[in-house]
Structure 1
Amino acid sequence: MLIEFSIGNYRSFKEQVTFSMVAADLVAKDKKLDENNVFEIDDDLKLLKSGAIYGANASGKSNLATALGFMRWFMINSSKETQSTEKIDVERFKLSTETEAKPSFFEIVFLMNGKRYRYGFEATRDKVISEWLFYVPKSKETKLFERKLNKISVSKTYKADGIQQKTRHNALFLSVSAQFNVQIAEKILDWLANRVKLVSGLDDSGYKGYTISCLTNNKNKNEIFQLLKKLDLGFGDVKVEESEITADSFPKELPDEIKKYIIKNGMTKVTSVQTMHQKFNIEGNPVSTEIFDLDNQESEGTQKVFALAGPLIDTLKNGKVLIIDEFDARIHPLLSRAIVE
């Protein structure tokens, strides 16, 4: 899957930055490495299965993920009425006279259903300055729509006549089009929402819940177990248990209003993850099994790998794109290597 993502003048970026998953014209000494990490779309396009961004502190690595996350959020949500009076959450680069007055620039090139699309927009805090969507139906790039401030020209293929007048100055035409059931816009936003995932390597609470839900709902359960065993984290098995909370089982120090809120909102289940470890005698022979609590007795690295397991399997199994910021944080280099492999 091709993703070329360009941003300019966004959160500490002095120059435009382009991140492309297109294979670079580099040949490794080990040709098997090239073959393993590259796949062909057609005769003209080869894509990398994985890529890494390296750089010094404060060089903008995390901002690339942040900007892509904002772009996706804005594309999906800008048409909502709750955003009608909100400022657009872009930030000009303040340390250059060349860029401080320029709008922020975002563009993404991607493949969807065998066709190549190029979508982008420019925006300030107050309004969308320009917006465009092109695609390649056969061999030549063709316009689907193009916007300059409030003037929006739309092709017949896009089928969105009349929606121009319904687009606010601080909303994206693509987002409004999807709201009014324009099929191309709906498919693009569905693709972006469900096929491209961003996670933080510093805060794993969100995707840990996803991994747990996969295990409890038997979604990719076997594959997740196989991945955890292959990474050799020191335990032989994982057990997920759900227990009911009752008014009597709350900690005594928990305020009554919190207890009432939990019960009122149906938050009456607690999920715990346990890992199974073998205990050995002095001769080195296994004699029994010890149960560890994942959150309290396993290392932070093990906790992170467990949290990543669900998104990793989902990505590999379903051909999605997974972007992990601070991937190596709290993980041993050999574990990082094994996951990439």
Structure 2
Amino acid sequence: MEGEFMLLEFKTKNYKSFVDEMSFIMSPAPKQKGLDYSVQTTKIGAKNYKSLCSAVVYGPNASGKTNIIGAMDTMKSIIMRGNIRNADVPMSMNAASSLLELIPNCDSNSAPVEFSIRFIENDMLIDYSMIVDLGGFLEKDHPRKILEEKLAVNEKPVFIRNDKLEVSIPSCIKPYLNSNIKSVSQQLKDISVNSLSDDELFLNNGFKNIFAKQLVALILGWFEKKFVVIIRSDAIKIMKKFSDTSENTIYVEKTLTDASKIFGINSNALGYKTVAEGDDAVLCSIFKDKKAIIPAEQFESYGTVRFINEFPLVINVLKNGGTLVMDEFDASIHPMALMNIINIFHNDEININKAQIIFNTHNPIFLDASLFRRDEIKFVERDDDTNHSVHYALSDFKTADGIRKGEDYMNNYFVNRYGAIKEVDFSDFIEQMIKGKEVAADD
């Protein structure tokens, strides 16, 4: 594998419930000690950059946890298609990535939406950001415009696009320039400005075509292959295509079968079956020399099917490097299996490609000082008055607040020392329903 692949930071502003800037940081917090195996280091030039190999996000239902992952997915979607028009594709689990009018906060008065990301790809530090005018919430016909777009490599500006366009060629990107580019002439600037469309990214269009096709391919390759963002992980299904797609062809998947035996499936193999010629193969449970074949969703438990569909994503990112971001990755899977997977990400003898995992959860078992550093434990809570979400890390609490290394994080969380928890009591509501009384919606 060439180079390193690390997410260092993601920011968004005015994305759904995050009206104020939300900064999701994967760099270690200052003065945090312990569990150093969770910290990965890459040297670029004379400077070392560090990243965490995992993060777990807590918060009550409807607090905005999924909005963080949704914002990552939406930025990725915009970058991959190169514009801020609605996507002409089947609806995904994250509708806002296709229907951008769902993004602005409904109380934001048409404030612009902001995204920025910092990551390392092929031993280069990439900073990319955009500020976009999408109009107001559900304003479908608003003339959308990219207000600002920036790219920097190794902390050197490459381009800034706002009312004007400035393009630079730092030495670090010279190997990636188009063959005819030696410098940024006024003529190239004029061509670039004329190529700009209000709703198209300069990155994917003018900059790629005029200046640096290879550099853009490297950046887009990271988003496509190394930044794996999964919304609604309970709904993912790994589908396979094979060169032989004739009807009723059966393929036993040895890797998945062996992993599933460790997970606890011992009575059958796992594989794929093509139902009709040309179709994707369907995951199946396979018994006794292929004499009995049953779709896995009909035979296996829900947790087992979730594991079968998620495990290849884990293997892929560990094998090839990159960042796996999943919404409720842990639901319906036994904690022992989850703890082992997390420990593999923390094991630098196995995780040699410096893969990262980020997931939302309600499971308090991960609130463990022996498993996660304080800067790996993140929280989201939503203000009851404004309905705006805020995000912070356990490491943001100072020692003076009584938050010390080695404390019982789980107990502290449930006694509301960290926030991001909400008391839920349906007793009165249900009692009144049972007794036939009407319950006011505002009570």
Partner of 1:173: 202
In 2: Cα distance, 1:23 partner to 1:35 partner:
10
Per the alignment, residue 167 of structure 2 pairs with: 154
Q: Tell me the equivalent position of 1:274.
A: 285
Change (3 A) 1:116 1:90: farther
Q: How does 1:27-66 map to 2 (within 5 A)?
A: 27=32, 31=34, 34-42=35-43, 44-66=48-70
Kept after mapping to 1: 8 A contact 2:285/2:299: no
Deviation at 1:143, TM superposition (A): 1.0
5 Å matches for 1:1-341? Answer: 1-25=6-30, 27=32, 31=34, 34-42=35-43, 44-79=48-83, 88-89=100-101, 91-95=103-107, 99-125=108-134, 126-136=144-154, 141-149=155-163, 151-157=164-170, 161=188, 162-176=191-205, 177-178=207-208, 182-206=213-237, 208-209=238-239, 223-230=255-262, 232-235=263-266, 237-243=268-274, 245=276, 267=278, 270-274=281-285, 293-341=295-343
Task: Say which is worse superposed, 74-83 or 58-67, in terms of deviation.
Answer: 74-83
The runs of 5 or more residues in structure 2 that have no matched partner are 1-5, 89-97, 135-143, 171-176, 246-252, 344-443
CA distance in 1, matches of 2:265, 2:25: 37
Q: Cα gap change, 1:46/1:229 in structure 2, threshold over 3 Å: closer, same or farther?
A: farther
* Letter in structure 1 aligned against 2:284: V
Moved more, 291-300 or 168-177: 291-300
Distance 1:298 1:179, change over 3 A: farther
Shift of 1:79: 4.8
Q: Sort the Cα spacing of 1:49 and 1:237 in 2 relative to 1 into closer, same or farther, 3 A.
A: farther
Q: CA deviation at 1:163?
A: 3.0
What is the rounded CA distance, in whole Å, between the counterparts of 2:113 and 2:129 in structure 1?
11
Q: Quick check: 2:86–2:100 contact (8 Å CA) kept in 1?
A: no
Match of 1:250 in 2: none
Q: 1:142 to 1:202 in 2, by over 3 A?
A: closer
Per-residue deviation, 1:93: 1.9
State how far apart, in whole Å, the 1-side matches of 2:87 and 2:235 are: 28
Contact 1:22/1:46, CA 8 A, preserved across alignment: yes
Question: Contact 1:72/1:192 (CA < 8 Å) preserved in 2?
Answer: yes
2:230 partner letter: V
TM-score (ref. length: structure 2): 0.58
Quote the offset at 1:128 in angstroms. 0.6
Equivalence for 2:424: none
Cα distance, 1:60 vs structure 2: 1.4
1:250-302 per-position Cα deviation (integer Å, ceiling 9, x unaligned): xxxxxxxxxxxxxxxx645653411569xxxxxxxxxxx99764110111110
For residues 241 and 184 of structure 1, do their structure 2 counterparts lie closer, same or farther at Cα, with a shift above 3 Å needed? closer
**What is the CA–CA distance in structure 1 between the aligned matches of 2:266 and 2:31, rounded to whole Å?**
40
- Contact 1:7-1:18 at 8 Å conserved across structures: yes
CA positional deviation for 1:310: 1.1
**Structure 1 range deviating more: 152-161 or 303-312:** 152-161
Kept after mapping to 1: 8 A contact 2:233/2:326? no
Matched pairs, number? 290
Q: Runs of 5+ in structure 1 lacking a partner?
A: 246-265, 278-288
Q: Which secondary structure does the structure 2 equivalent of 1:45 belong to?
A: strand
**Distance in structure 2 (CA, Å) of the matches to 1:13 and 1:103:** 12
Q: Map Cα deviations across residues 113-158 of structure 1 (whole Å, 9 max, x no partner).
A: 212111000001111110101121xxxx211000114x21111456
SS in 1 for 2:199: coil
Could you tell me how far apart the structure 2 residues matched to 1:37 and 1:194 are?
23
Aligned mates of 2:148, 2:214 — CA distance in 1: 22
The offset of 1:306, in angstroms, is 0.1
SS of 1:118's partner is: strand
Contact 1:224 1:313 in 2 (8 A): no
Q: 1:202 Cα deviation (Å)?
A: 4.1
Change (3 A) 1:89 1:185: farther
Query: One-letter code of the match for 1:68?
Result: M
